[in-house]
Chains A and B, each alone.
Chain A
Amino acid sequence: MAEKRFTRRLSYTTGGLLLILIALVIAWPSLNDFINNFINKYEELDTNPQGFIDSMIYMTIKCRNIMFTGVWTTVKLALAGTAIAFILAIFMVFMRIQEPDRRDNLLIKIIKFAVNRFARFYIFIIRGTPMMVQALIFYYFGFNLFKRTGLTVSEINNIWSFFISGLFTVSLNSTAYLAEVLRGGILAIDKGQSEAARSLGMTNWQTMRKVVFPQAVKNSIPAIGNEFIINIKDSSVLSVIGVMDLMYATKSVGGIYYRSLEIYCVAALLYLILTYLSSLLLKYLSSRLDVKAQGIPSSN
């Protein structure tokens, strides 16, 4: 039944896409002309037009390479940052949920206590400070560290580039939030699930890995997607350390033309497109996986 419904939906989707494709092929020559004319019209202008919308379009077209690099960098930061953070968050949440058990031996008790406290401390610090401050600290910390190895400034800038340290920041920041997301997911799984597993002789670890965690991750997918959308927006603070993201690109373009309001409106529009497309994608993914999606989330 479900399969049938799925194939039907698939055929609607492919059918729709096919129609659009055919329309595009037929309309391509005239569409192409239209776009080229549109771009050329603005390219040929010598000065930034007075009109608000005109000016927005003019600056975007003139500096489309910078703006595109900015968008692409933002997408890369959000995608890679969320993915890396997800992996790290799995480790972090396992540390966070460790509780010494009276049947553990002393060494295990100490280790569990230590990793639990480390995770709590990490999450506390990250969630309690702005990402902008974290970005600056990580950047300078890394820079000073490399400095000690005797590398020159340009060598350091190659290894510890703005992008790398920005990615580092997003990843470590999201790790804390995603660890809490996963912890919430784990706590939301009915205790009966783990009790059944334990009663069959499975260890705590086997129970977590085979029964609780897979269910927790599945239920967390919407929240993980939210973290991705948040990262699209919040990575804008990384422009303080010079990461060439959409925010930085916008600032540069604004600096060239002295028309800040217009270009920041372009930035807002581009961010909106990115987050909206992502939320659509998420909704689709969530419905496929039978979990509940949320709207565009507020910031961390």
Chain B
Amino acid sequence: MTEPVIKISKLEKSFGNLKVLKGVDLEIDKGEVVCIIGASGSGKSTLLRCINLLEEADSGEILFDGQNLMDLRVNINALRQKIGMVFQSFNLFNNKNVLDNCTLAPVTVRKIDLNAARETAIKHLKAVGLGDFIHADVNRLSGGQKQRVAIARALCMEPELMLFDEPTSALDPEIVGEVLDVMKNLAAQGMTMTVVTHEMAFAREVSDRVVFMDGGVILEQGSPAKVFGSPEHARTREFLSRYLDDKK
């Protein structure tokens, strides 16, 4: 058995008096696509943000690349390069065009030659269907286009793990598909992905494992067939039925 890409144990995090993560254990293997589902406020975003240290967890362990990210001496910038993150609100750099969004980090962080970085960026932008928008102003793109640029931007750093925090929640329903298609492609290419999502159809179709979070813990996890088909916990059933009702 190979080592997992990332191994989280007993992770806890509070904001003031509010305990948001109450001991989370999660392992993600190479090439695995894990979807995290759960009610709003259950701590899904906080978990993702703790993984790439946008939030500092209070206790527990996050093993990545043989290093414990919770150790204050690790070089977080070096580690973050290998963990791509896609945000609900895209967060494209407003002062840069599409191409420059994608080349900024490779050039400044990885010290890659600008021409080489551009070539890589164009390759990724074409792969997400934005070959014609290379020099576009990011503020003029549609939400779906923005999110695809954000994915391409993360891929330009050649990450070992991609985190997605509700990548389609800010999009109009008719645009969601174009972003999910890009993510499906990525999964098919063997990218290790952790996706917080409310797109149950996507989770069912693409993920290797579904994780249900509730009240700051992982209540249950398993194959999509198991979690969607025969959930163990009443809370999971309740969430799923409520969610599927809402959607229909």
Mostly helix, strand, loop or mixed at chain A's interface?
helix
**CB <8 Å contact, B72 and A102:** yes
Interface with A: B2-10, B79-87, B125-133, which one?
A: B79-87
Residues of A within 8 A of B234 (CB): none
**CB <8 Å contact, A202 and B77:** yes
Q: Closest residue to B79 on the A side, CB-wise?
A: A201
Could you tell me the distance between the alpha carbons of A202 and B78 in the complex, rounded to whole angstroms? 9
**CB <8 Å contact, A211 and B154:** no
Residues of A within 8 A of B108 (CB): 202, 206, 210
Residues of B within 8 A of A102 (CB): 56, 72
Mostly helix, strand, loop or mixed at chain B's interface?
loop
- Residues of B in contact (CB 8 Å), total 31
Could you tell me the distance between the alpha carbons of A195 and B89 in the complex, rounded to whole angstroms? 11
Residues of A within 8 A of B84 (CB): 199-200
Interface with A: B23-31, B91-99, B183-191, B205-213, which one?
A: B91-99
In the complex with contacts A102-B72, A103-B76, A195-B87, A200-B95 CB distance below 8 A: no
Q: Closest residue to A192 on the B side, CB-wise?
A: B91
In the complex with contacts A214-B95, A215-B95, A198-B56 CB distance below 8 A: no
Could you tell me the distance between the alpha carbons of A196 and B77 in the complex, rounded to whole angstroms? 12
User: Among the interface residues B54, B91, B109, B157, which one has the most CB atoms of the partner chain A within 10 A?
Assistant: B91
Please give the distance in Å from A205's CB to the nearest CB on chain B.
10
* A115 CB-CB contact with B under 8 Å: no
Please give the distance in Å from B93's CB to the nearest CB on chain A.
5
Residues of B within 8 A of A218 (CB): 95
**CB <8 Å contact, B81 and A210:** no
* A14 CB-CB contact with B under 8 Å: no
Q: Interface readout for B152-187 with A: 1 if CB under 8 Å, 0 if not?
A: 011001000000000000000000000000000000
Pick from A103, A196, A199, A206: contact of B83, CB under 8 Å: A199
* A203 CB-CB contact with B under 8 Å: yes
**CB <8 Å contact, B77 and A201:** yes
**CB <8 Å contact, A103 and B93:** no
Residues of A within 8 A of B157 (CB): 200-201
Could you tell me the distance between the alpha carbons of A201 and B79 in the complex, rounded to whole angstroms? 7
* A152 CB-CB contact with B under 8 Å: no
Q: Which residues of B contact A (CB under 8 A)?
A: 52, 54, 56, 72, 76-85, 87, 89-95, 104-105, 108-110, 150, 153-154, 157
Beyond the given A103-B76, A193-B91, A201-B77, could you list 8 further A-B residue pairs with CB under 8 A, ordered by the A residue number?
Answer: A192-B89, A193-B94, A196-B85, A200-B153, A211-B95, A211-B104, A215-B94, A215-B95
Interchain residue pairs with CB less than 8 A apart (12): A102-B72, A192-B90, A193-B91, A196-B93, A199-B52, A199-B84, A199-B85, A201-B80, A202-B104, A203-B77, A210-B108, A211-B104
